[in-house]
């Protein structure tokens, strides 16, 4: 939900930015290519590789993708409370 809020803010406020580089909110919005409000490890990898080159920090992203096991977020606040 917070990512969706950041992404929406980035889209609304992007034209008013005087900063010569992307803000965090703009980066999150750019990473979320399927526009579901969640940035997956794969989306993050594609975004960072587009900036730094294919294979950038490959081992780190391989480990992150393996640890994620197709979960969008493993933190306790995203789990059902019921």
What pLDDT, in 10s, does the model give residues 25-55? 998 999 999 988 888 888 999 999 998 999 8
Q: Which domain range does residue 48 map to? A: 2-73
Q: Is residue 81 one of the residues assigned to a domain?
A: no
What is the predicted pLDDT for the residue at 81?
46
As a whole number, the mean pLDDT across the chain is: 75
pTM of structure: 0.55
End-to-end alpha carbon distance in the chain: 19
The phi-psi region of residue 16 (left if phi > 0; otherwise alpha if psi is between -120 and 50; otherwise beta) is: alpha
Q: Classify residue 32: in a domain, yes or no.
A: yes
For residue 64, is it within any domain?
yes
80 occurs within a structural domain: no
| Total number of domains in the chain | 1
How does DSSP assign 33-82, residue by residue? TT-SS---HHHHHHHHHHHH-TTTTHHHHHHHHHHHTT-S--SGGGS---
Q: Could you tell me if residue 65 is inside a domain? A: yes
Residue 79 falls inside a structural domain: no
Is 44 part of any domain? yes
């Amino acid at each position: 939900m917070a990512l969706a809020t950041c992404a929406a803010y980035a889209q609304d406020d992007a034209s008013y930015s005087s900063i010569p580089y992307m803000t965090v909110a703009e980066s999150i919005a750019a990473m979320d290519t399927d526009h579901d409000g969640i940035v997956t490890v794969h989306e993050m990898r594609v975004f960072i590789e587009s900036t730094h080159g294919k294979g950038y920090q490959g081992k780190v992203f391989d480990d992150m993708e393996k640890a994620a096991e197709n979960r969008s977020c493993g933190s306790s606040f995203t789990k059902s409370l019921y």
